[in-house]
Amino acid sequence: MSNKDTTTEKMKADPPQDNLQQDPAPVSSEEGREEEKNRWLFEKMPVPKALATMAVPTVISQMIVLIYNMADTFYIGRTNNPYMVAGAALILPIFNVCIAVANIAGTGGGTLIARLMGARNPRSARRIASFSIWFSAFMGLFFAVMTAVFMHPLLTLLGASSQTYDFARQYCTCVIVLGGTPTITAMTMGNLLRNVGCSKQAGFAISMGGIINIILDPIFMFVLLPPGHEILGAGLATALTNTFTCTYFVITILRLHNPILHFSLKDGLPGSVLLASFFGVGIPAAMGPFLFDLDYIVLDRLMAAHSDIALAAIGIVLKAERLPLNVGIGLCLGMVPLAAYNYSAKNYARMQSVLKATRAAGIAISIGSIALYELFAPYLIRIFIKDPATVALGTDFLRIRVLATIMMFLSFIYVYFFQALGQGRMALFLVIMRWFMINIPMLFILDRFFGQYGLAWSQLVSDVLVAFFSWLLYRNYRKKHLLPVLRAQSTIL
């Protein structure tokens, strides 16, 4: 894709197989009402209210996802076994690969659907919707099988020791091998629902899944399975929960009668122009979690070189610090459909207002989060484990890493914004710059000179640099591509 995003123009003049004007599909009265409601949300509703409509359910669901992701660590920590906690922490990079796979279809397909809706091309949007769901299901199955086949070398690469390997293997078998396919498919369907304006339905399904997981964890860990198998119980509960969530998403989409979302391929596969846009944004979006993963792998291995206690501490911190991060992600996920739709509709003024409102809300939440973490860091660590050495080290790590919250939010908001605009290359550049060019090298540098505490400080140092360069890239794009159109529109008005 070019920086001028010629994809939108191509979508309006699709080749015959993707042209809405050729053999348009009939729309029922119920689907028509749903379409009118979405147009009001995307085009006319005041920006703060529209952002709240899209983002609040997503933020709530992200919070519940955070809680149920931490629930495993919390319940495993009740065993007071740091090796079991470390074993679960080792699987986080593998789970993030699931997110990366889901982002290909969920972000690539979801943002494209929003832009197609803005370009008044619902037929092509339907093709992308069905293709996204089936693509994610196939990729989820493939990833689960590959993980099962190569589990031993994979866990060894991640830094599993003789004390943590069996625990990591049990957890990985349940969460990734058994639960990977429904997890990836559910993430994709949730993204698609948000991008067609059904944020409440997506948020409810994800929230309900999180609550069920929190309930099932202690039942499997402390009631159904014997002592010593707590991590296996946590994994089984998570796999069952994600399977239930995926099933619920399927039922929700079937009952919604949304004019865009469906599972049938009767409209045909997307043409080359649509597939180029699908993968042009989806693959860069997948690179984000992948490099995030790589950063965690490096961090885990460098921490493990200091001690298993340090590894357990950073594993807990990486879960606990996600509160502001998940809220920020929820805000950005609410922003993306609104920005994508109005970009394609060439309503750049509204698109800019959406970005500004999201940025202001994210900064305010980040400031509040820093204050809370600095005050209550030791109490948060003790929620997960009582081991004094792990608590002391985890408290220090958390208080240091949370200082990066504002800069971290300002780093990834521009990645989401460029994804919304279909600017996959720019989003990919920001992702590669953040993780591969700055964050990961900084880990090695600060570990070399300051040891395990240097690893904790690396996040703040890196994100200050990343946020600055991200803003420069956005300012240049806005000056070159958006401001001339905004000035022209103002002159006409």
Q: Which pair of structure tokens corresponds to residue 414? A: 């521009």
Q: Which pair of structure tokens corresponds to residue 238? A: 């998570």
Helix (H, G, I), strand (E, B) or coil at 234: helix
**CA atoms of 164 and 253, how far apart (whole Å):** 41
Q: What is the pLDDT of residues 423-482, one digit of tens each?
A: 888 888 888 888 888 988 999 999 889 888 998 899 899 999 999 999 999 988 888 877
Around Cβ 42, how many Cβ atoms within 10 Å?
23
Around Cβ 157, how many Cβ atoms within 10 Å?
12
**CA atoms of 168 and 166, how far apart (whole Å):** 5
The pLDDT mean for the chain works out to 81
Q: Among the listed ranges 132-141, 203-212, 373-382, 484-493, which one has the minimum average pLDDT value? A: 484-493
Q: What is the pLDDT of residues 129-161, one digit of tens each?
A: 889 999 999 999 998 999 889 888 888 887 777
Q: Measure CA of the first residue to CA of the last residue in the chain; give whole Å.
A: 32
| pTM of the shown model | 0.77
37 exposed, middle or buried (CB, 10 Å; 0-12, 13-18, 19+)?
A: exposed
pLDDT of res. 227: 79
Q: What is the pLDDT of residues 355-412, one digit of tens each?
A: 999 999 999 989 998 998 899 888 888 877 778 888 888 888 999 999 999 998 998 8
**CA atoms of 356 and 320, how far apart (whole Å):** 28
Report which secondary-structure segment, H or E, holds 461: helix 440-477
Q: Is a pLDDT exceeding 80 seen at residue 28? A: no
Q: Is a pLDDT exceeding 60 seen at residue 10? A: no
Angle between helix 230-256 and helix 47-77 axes, rounded to 10 deg = 150
Q: What is the mean pLDDT of residues 15-40?
A: 50
